[in-house]
A and B are shown apart, each in its own frame.
Chain A
Amino acid sequence: MEVEAARLIGAGLAAIGAGAAAIGVGYIWGSFLQGALRNPEAANGEQARLYIGFAVTELLGLIAAVIGFILLFG
């Protein structure tokens, strides 16, 4: 039963990674919005870069979610 408990605790700890990635994604969108409000004309041209940054950051949170899934269901 101790192994089972450790697995569940580990899955819970893995969820911290998702929260950390949420901070990163929020920072990216917040910074974009800040820049876009200061210079709205340049905002449209930077949208591709915004999504690349979003995708790269989000991936780390998703990897944390994978570890949680593996611990819970694997």
Chain B
Amino acid sequence: MSARGQVQLDGIVKKHGAFAALKGIDFEIKPGEFFALLGPSGSGKSTTLRILAGLDAPTSGRILVDGEDVTGADARERDVAMVFQSYALYPHMTVFENIAFPLEMAKRPKAEIGPAVREAAAKVKIEHLLDRKPGQLSGGQQQRCALARAIVRKARLFLLDEPLSNLDAKLRLETRVELKKLQRSLGVTAVYVTHDQEEAMTLADRMAVFMEGEIRQIGRPADVFAQPNSIEVAAFIGSPPMNLIPARYQDGSVLIGGRRLPTMLQTHGERDVVVGVRPSAVRFEADGIPATVEVVENLGDAAILDMSLAGTALRARYDRFPLPREGDAMGVTVRPEDIHLFDPVSRRRL
């Protein structure tokens, strides 16, 4: 059981005519891992999931599941289960029939199907809704029904295509936690597509950041957050997004607003760089670089300050009360370990 659900993608390319939707995707997922495919819409993450599911065929490349080449195999031969963004419940069947459908297709004996359906329904807490039709369920209940249908067969792979995006904000947070618990308790490999970096950060053991048909970075969410390897990844991960300020690097420090900020990078020489600073890493000190508060967005327990610093915009998280007012002048600084440096030409991390 534990060895099931190992996935390997080798040089997956998908072309639509001249347009390359995927330009060579490689990654490996370990059994039992929660792996997120994160990226903006049109970045190729959903296409990758569909290729993994067998719903689309790659133009070239190989897909291996548990060491077996499934590149040419039909979706139904792959033993994978999927939750769709739209849930894709069968509207003419009851919840029970929906959940039972994969077992029926697998020709499991009737005596086995009933208990298995009830067990799956109980896991997602919809055992009292088995006689309803999908049209009589709320959005959250429909989503649970789709989850139950996916877990009932105990497939070796569990694919989720933006499963939370049709839920309202509060329900989304609740379901997120339950989804993680569910995956843990089942010990099943999960591949999760999302454009919401927060979902990927909280759910995934590891994640792949997709952009323009390529994987830009793979790693543990915390590592990707702490060490984004390019400007694009840095700008995509984190909310509010990282400040990216063009500046001049000189012998182990950067020049911003006429002041020198020491960096971790300690090389001699001078060059143009892009300085990345997370809003939460901005510190306020009276003798810091002078900046003017332009807009205060009060979040309740903290605020996001939109500031102007030597002609460039800077967003900072501020959690001391009382909050500053618009127009106030404040001194800001950043610790060397919180400064990310990028090459403005290659856009890679320095």
**Do chains A and B stick together as partners?**
no
Binding site for B on A (CB under 8 A): none
